[in-house]
Amino acid sequence: MKSIISTPVLCALAAMLVAAPVMAQDREIVVYNAQHESLAKEWAAGFTRDTGIKVTLRNGSDSEFSNQIVAEGKASPADVFLTENSPAMTQVEQAGLFAQVDPDTLALVEDQYRPSSGQWIGIAARSTVFAYNKTKLTEDQLPKSLLDLADPQWKGRWGASPSGPDFQAIVSALLQLKGEEATAGWLKAMKANFKAYRGNNTVLKAVNTGEIDGGIIYHYYWFGDRARTAENSNEVELHYFRNGDPGAFVSISGGGVLASSKHPQEAQAFLKWIVGKAGQQVLRDGTSYEYTVGKGEASNAALVPLEDLQAPRIDPHTLNSRKVTDLMTDAGLL
Amino acid sequence: MQASADSTLIAASASRRRRTAPSRLSWIGLAAVLVTLLALIPLGFILWVTVQTGWETATALIFRPRVGELLVNTLLLEVLAVPACAVLSVALAWLTERSDLPGARLWAWLCVAPLAVPAFIHSYAWVSIVPGLNGLSAGALVSVLAYFPFLYLPVSAALRRLDPALEDAAAALGHGPWSVFFRVVLPQLRLALCGGALLVGLHLLAEYGLFVFVRFDTFTTAIVDQFQSTFNGPAANMLAGVLIACCFALLALEMLARGDERYARVGFGAARRLVPASLGRATWPCLLLFALVALLSLGVPFYTIARWLLAGGLQVWRLDEISAALGHTTVLALGGALLATLAAIPMAWLSIRAPGRLQRVLEGCNYMVGALPGVVVALALVTLTVRYLLPLYQTLATILVAYMLMFLPRAIISLRASIAQAPVELEQAAMNLGRKPLDALWSTTIRLSAPGAAAGMALVALGILNELTATQMLAPNGTRTLALAFWAYSGEIDYAAAAPYALIMVAASLPLTWLLYVQSKKMAGQ
C-alpha cells in the first residue's frame, strides 16, 4: 500500500489534519458567537489588545448554538457563549452546562439585566420596533400593538425575519405574556399576513423601498444604517409600541462561561471585559447602537433612553426557545 | 500458527499461479467498497434518524402544509428553469457549432464563462440592480443564467460529433431544414440533453445562496433555517429526507428519459466535415441573442462587482482578512481535491480494467451520493460526529470527507477518461519486470492518468471554492473561506465589503472554467 499513496501526498494530508485544531492552545479561548460578527470582532480585538489572550470566534445564531452546545454536552470546544437574545442562554442553563459567573463580574451589571441564578449575564440590550415607510403610513395609521398585525387589514403589508433569533425572541415574549393558544393563533394569522425575509437588514431594506409598509425588527438596524449611508433607511421611521405591549419587548443579549471550558480563567476574564468599562464603551461609541447594561454606563446618546420605552416586565428566565421553534414550525413559518 | 503460515504460503503460490492479477483486483475492489460504504453513510444516517424519530413524529413533520409549499416551489422551479435552460442551450449550441455565426469561437467561450460566477454571486448582482426582485420568476431567471452552461457544454459537444450523413439522407427524402432538425438532430442530442438537464435539476435542489437573495424558499433554504433555529432537530432531518427523495426522483426521471435507443453510426469510413448552415438575414438577430445572454449572465455580475468596488473604495480591501480567507479556501480546496482524487482511483480503475456487476453497483452508489445536496451531507456528518465520533467533530478531516463525498463523481469521471487511454500492457510489463502489483499500477497507469487527475482536482476545487452550506455547518472553529466571508458581509447588506471576495472567487474560477471548456473541446476531438 505504501507505494500507491506516495510519501509527499501522505505528508501533505497528515500536515493538514494536524493543523486542523486551530484552537486549543494556551491563552486562547473559543467563543460561540451569535452576536453580530462586527461587534464581537471589536470586543475580541479589544480584549486581546488588553490581555494578550487570543479569541477564536465561531459565528452562528442563538438557538443553533444553544442546541449545538446541548448536543456537544461536556465535550463542547466552546469556552464562552455570546447571544443576541436570552432564550438561548436559558436553554443552556437548564441543561446545566454553564459555570457560575464570577461575583465581581455580576456586580458590574444592573440587576434587571441578569438572571438571579448568576449562571449567565446580560451583555447588551435591544428594543423591538415597528420600522415603517413614512411615505406609506402616517402616524395615526400605525398599529397600536404587535397583536394588531394579525388583523386582515395588514395582509401583505408587513414583513419580518422568522428564521432569525431576534424575531424568535420576540415570539417568546409574546408566548410568555399571552400564553400558548393566543401565540399559536397569532402566528397562524402572521403566516397568512406577512412577507418573509432573511435577516432584519433585509426587512429594513424592503421597508425602505416600499415593498412592504412596515416590519418588526430591533431598533439598532435603523440607527446603524442611518449612521452609515442611510441607503436602506432614509424613507424609514421607527415606531415604539410602548405601554407594556409584547411589541415593546426589550431583549437581553447574554454571555456565559461553559462549565466544560478548559480555560475558565481566560473565559471569565473575557466576560468581565465585555460588561466592564472597555466593553460597554464599544457599545456606546461604536457602530452597534445596542443599549449598554453595565452599571453607570450610559448608552449611545442618539438612542431613545431605555427607561422611556415602557417595556413589558418579563423575567428572562421564563423565555422558552424550544417551544417557540415548535410553535413556529407548526405554523409553517419554519 | 504453523498451519496458518502454511495456508498463507499456499494461498500466495496459488495467487502467483493466477498471475497475481486477482490479488491486486481484490485490494482495489476492497478500497472501492470502503469508499462506497463511506459515501453511503450520510444517506443511511438520515434514514436511520427518520426511523428513530418514530412514525408519528416523522409523519407529523413530513406531511405538513409547509412541506407541501416547498414541494410546489421546487416543482415549479424545476419545470420552469430546466426546459428554459434546455431550449436556450440547444439554440446557442446549434448556432455556435452548426452555423456560420461570426465569432462563433468567442461566443462559445462566452456561453461557458458564466460558470465561473458562483450562483449566489449572480443573485447578489441581480438584487443589487433590481432590489425588488423576488419569488419564483426571479429564482427561475437567475437559475437559468447561472446554470445554462451545464447544458450548453454537453449539447454543443454532441452537436459537433454528429454525422451529417443522417441529415443529408433525411433532406434527400424530402424533409425541410426544421423538420430535419426536429426529427434527426434533436433525437441525437437526447443523451446530452438528459445528462445536462439532470445536472441543472440537481443544482437547483442543492442551491442555497441564490434563492436566499431572491427570497424564494426551497427545501435547502428551509433546512438551513431549521439548522439555524434548532441545530440538528428532527424537523431538519425530515426535510432532508424529502429532499433526498426529490433527488432520487430526478435520477429516476433521467433514466426513463434517456431511453435505450442506439445513436452510434455503423459502418466504416469517417464522417464528412460539417458544412455550416448559412444564417443569412438571421445573422443579426442571432448575434443580438448572444449579446443579450452575455450581457445578462456576465455583464450583470461584472458590472455589479465593479460598481460596489468603486463605491467601497480602498477601505473594503481589508488585506489581512482577505489573505486569511484566501489561505483557508486554498487549504480546503486543495485538501478536498486531493482526497476526492485519491478516493476516486480505485473506482475509476475498476470501471475501466474490471467492469462488472459489483463495479456498476458501487459506481451507481457513488453517483447517487454525489447527487445529494451539501446541506444533507453536512447535516448527517454533524449529527454523526457530535453523537458518536466526537474526536472528529469540527475537524478539518470531517469537512474534507464531506467535500470528498460531494464531489467524488467529478473526480471519477475525469480520472476514468484518462485511465482508459493508458494501455493495460504497460502495467503487465511493469509486473513482468518484477514490480509488485500496486507498485506497477502506480508507476504506469496512475502516472499516465495524471492529466485526468489534475482536471478532476480542478473541478473538485472549483466546487469547494463556491461551496457555502456544508462549509458553514462543518468548518473547524475560526475557519473563514472566501464564500463564508462574502456571505457574512452580504447578509449585513454590506454589499461593498462583499465585493472583493466576489471578485476573487470569480477570478479564481475563470481558469478552472477555461479548463472545462478546453476539456469538452478535446472530448469532441477538436
pLDDT band at B17 (very low <50, low <70, confident <90, very high): very low
Q: Give the residue from B334, B477, B484, B492 with the most A CB atoms within 10 Å of its CB, the best one to mutate.
A: B477
Cβ B231–A202 below 8 Å, yes or no?
A: no
Predicted confidence at residue A51, as pLDDT, reads 94
pLDDT in the model for residue A9: 55
Give the pLDDT confidence of B164-196 residue by residue, as tens digits: 888 888 989 999 888 988 998 898 888 889 888
Q: How far apart are the first and last CA of chain A?
A: 49
Tens digits of residue pLDDT in B240-264: 889 988 988 988 888 888 777 766 6
Q: Please answer yes or no on whether A63 and B442 come within 8 Å at the CB atom.
A: no
pLDDT more than 70, % of chain B? 92
Q: Which helix (H) or strand (E) holds A123?
A: strand A121-133
Cα distance between residue A332 and residue A326, in whole Å: 10
* Ordered domains of chain A (ranges, CATH): 28-125+251-304 (3.40.190.10), 126-249+320-330 (3.40.190.10)
Query: Is the pLDDT confidence value at B232 over 90?
Result: no
Which residues of chain A lie closer than 8 angstroms to B338, CB-CB?
A: 9, 12-13
Residue A235's SS3 state is coil
Searching chain B, which residue's CA lies closest to the CA of residue A195? B215
Write down the residue that cell numbers 424592503 correspond to.
A206
B229, A325: Cβ pair inside 8 Å? yes
Q: Could you read off the pLDDT of A219-236 as tens digits, one per residue?
A: 999 999 998 888 889 999
Q: For residue range B344-361, list pLDDT tens digits in order.
A: 988 888 888 888 888 888
Helices (H), B354-373: 357-370
Question: B104: which 3 cell numbers?
Answer: 462563433
**CA Rg value for chain B:** 25
B73: phi then psi, degrees, rounded to nearest 5: -55, -50
Grid cell of A83 as nine digits:
447571544
DSSP state of B298: I
Q: How far is A90 from chain B (nearest CA, A)?
A: 14
Identify which has the larger pLDDT, B88 or B450.
B88
- Write down the pLDDT at residue B25: 64
pTM beyond 0.95: the answer is: no
**Cβ atoms of B149 and B111 closer than 8 Å:** yes
Local structure of residue A210 (DSSP, 8 states)? T
Nearest beta carbon to residue B229 from set A1, A58, A334: A334
The 10s digit of each residue's pLDDT in B49-74 is 888 888 888 888 888 888 999 999 99
Q: How far apart are CA A124 and CA A9, in angstroms?
A: 49
How far is B481 from chain A, CA to nearest CA, in Å?
Answer: 13
Q: How far is A294 from chain B (nearest CA, A)?
A: 27
**Residues with Cβ < 8 Å from A180, sequence gap 6 or more?**
A323, A327
Of B231, B394, B476, the CB nearest to A64: B231
**Listed residue (B89, B110, B109, B95) closest to B518, CA to CA:** B109
Q: How many CB atoms lie within 10 A of CB B123?
A: 28
Which three-class secondary structure state does DSSP give residue A258? strand
Poorest-confidence range of A66-80, B101-115, B216-230, B267-281?
B267-281
CB contact under 8 A, A209 and B229: no
Size of interface A-B (CB pairs under 8 A): 133
Identity of the residue in A22, A67, A211 whose CB atom sits nearest the CB atom of B476? A22
Question: What tens-digit pLDDT sequence spans chain A (334 residues)?
Answer: 344 445 555 555 555 554 444 444 468 999 999 999 889 999 999 999 999 999 999 998 888 899 899 888 988 999 999 999 998 999 899 999 999 999 999 999 988 898 888 999 999 999 999 999 999 999 999 999 999 999 999 999 999 999 888 999 999 999 999 999 999 999 999 999 999 998 899 999 999 999 999 999 999 999 999 988 888 899 999 999 999 999 999 999 999 999 999 999 999 999 999 999 999 999 999 989 999 999 999 999 999 999 999 999 888 888 878 899 999 999 999 8
The stretch B366-390 carries a mean pLDDT of 86
Q: What angle do CA B151, B152, B157 make, to 5 degrees?
A: 105
Between B356 and B81, the higher pLDDT residue: B81
Query: What pLDDT score does A174 carry?
Result: 96
Residues of chain A with C-beta less than 8 angstroms from the C-beta of B446: 4
pLDDT category, B277, cuts 50, 70, 90?
confident
Q: Which whole-number Å values give the CA distances from B31 to A149, B415, B419, B437, in the listed order?
A: 60, 16, 17, 15
- Smallest Cβ–Cβ distance between B439 and the set A3, A71, A328 belongs to A3
Q: Mean pLDDT across the stretch B409-414?
A: 84
- Nearest chain B Cα distance for residue A315, angstroms: 22
- Using the predicted structure, report yes or no on whether residue B226 has a pLDDT greater than 60: yes
Residue B23 binned pLDDT confidence (cut-offs 50, 70, 90): low
Contacts for B315 with CB less than 8 Å, ≥ 6 apart: none
8 Å CB contact between A234 and A125: no
Contact B397 A3 (CB under 8 A): no
What band does B313 get if pLDDT is binned at 50, 70 and 90?
confident
Best of B24, B237, B345, B493 to mutate (most A CBs within 10 Å, chain A): B493
Residues 272 through 291 of chain B touching chain A, CB cutoff 8 Å: none
What does the pLDDT average to over B71-92? Answer: 95
